[in-house]
Amino acid sequence: MTQFNAALEERLIRYAAVDTQSDESSSTSPSTAIQLDLARMLEAELTRIGAQDVRITEYGAVLATIPGTVEGGPVIGLLAHMDTAPAYNATGVKPRVIRGYNGGEITFPDAPSLRLTPEAAPYLAEKVGHDIITASGTTLLGADDKAGIAILMTMAEQLLADASIPHGTLRIAFTPDEEIGHGVDARMPADLGADFAYTLDGGAVGEIEYETFSADGAKVKVVGVSTHPGTAKGKMVNALHLAAKIIEMLPQATETPEVTGGRDGFWHITNMGGTAAECEMSIILRDFERDGLAARGEMLRKVCEAVAATEPRATITCEIKPQYRNMRYWLENDMTPVELARAACRAEGIEPLSVPIRGGTDGSRLTEMGVPCPNIFTGMQEIHGPLEWISVQDMAVATRVCLRLVRDAVRQG
């Protein structure tokens, strides 16, 4: 089936070319003004296809309404995020299409030594004959989550063009700053006005996810004693050396991202900068359970205290702030949104799969704030790096599942 393929391909390529990288060090909302470039594009596109109540909020989200064609049923929110991850270069993205993938290795024009192979990425081996979109090798692609935007925009266009498809009122939201944990503003639940919602921010076809990490973020600041290195004996306290000791004392063999999987939690240093006089580290803490997350925070505090005790002239502070919590804690009390999505998959001939997300989504925060919000697949793979890719046909499947979901939800309602 080729329905939606051309529209999805065109949209993803157009959206991916717009730099929307978020910035965790920023205090503005959205964190980068460039995200508004895409927001304005999406606002104009939603208006052009006939959506109602289209606006960009003060916090940078694009909101719109797809009016229902029938009375009754729940108001469903559908979300995708505009920003791309700060973890890898996202400036100058050049999307390209490998038409009718032949099953071999994929090379990249701007990085000749880079290879994407089905041996290293087994899901790719299942996509022979598909149209594969990648970047050119020096940037990420941004299918996370511009694929979600393309899917929702294509679905909205179909519903607005064909009034014969039964569905209730739908609320569309394209959010900024999801990648830095700021995608859901405190005003979002009221602005969205949905009974429940879905994020389109998942991976392989069939994934319907209702469990995420719980997450905290830590800032560790080390203030040493600065003096000229030529006369530093007995005087200097090097903040960078103390920071290195903190990292060295944290468990690395068993509790970092590169050695954990499944339901294992981790700590992860995302940024470290400063001078011998003063430096700061950003560390994220992740676990599926509240107790495990709290234990990781306590471990970090104790390590900081232990290093501080070795050098009383230094000052070491550790501030830990909540980021998001496992959506399972709320969704397991009412699995209706999850079961609707699973049923839509089965109706489209797809067996749904629910695995815990080793990360978070806007749905984590929305669910915690009272709007149940599981996650639906888009097809995105190898995200946050130069090997990122997606199948156009997978995106089309996600579009059909979303159309089926909103149609069946109103019938059940």
Residues known to be catalytic:
83, 178
Q: Rounded distance, CA 288 to CA 255, Å?
A: 14
Q: How many angstroms separate the Cα of 377 from the Cα of each of 55, 222, 233, 284?
A: 26, 42, 59, 25
What is the DSSP code string of 116-182? Answer: E-TTT-HHHHTTTTS-EEE--SSS---HHHHHHHHHHHHHHHHHHH-TTS----EEEEEES-GGGT-
Residue 200 contacts residue 172 (beta carbons within 8 Å): no
Cβ atoms < 10 Å from Cβ of 333: 8
Name which of 258, 365, 151 is nearest 269 in CA terms.
258
At residue 376, the 3 state secondary structure works out as strand
Tally of CA atoms within 13 A in the half-sphere of 76 that contains its CB: 28
Contacts of 389 (CB under 8 A, 6+ apart): 106, 116, 121, 124, 132, 133, 134, 141, 143, 381, 382
Give kind and range of the element (H or E) at residue 193.
none
Residue 134 tokens, joined: 């990648």
Name which of 207, 209, 203 is nearest 328 in CA terms.
209
Residue 211 tokens, joined: 């469990």
Name which of 399, 363, 405, 362 is nearest 379 in CA terms.
399
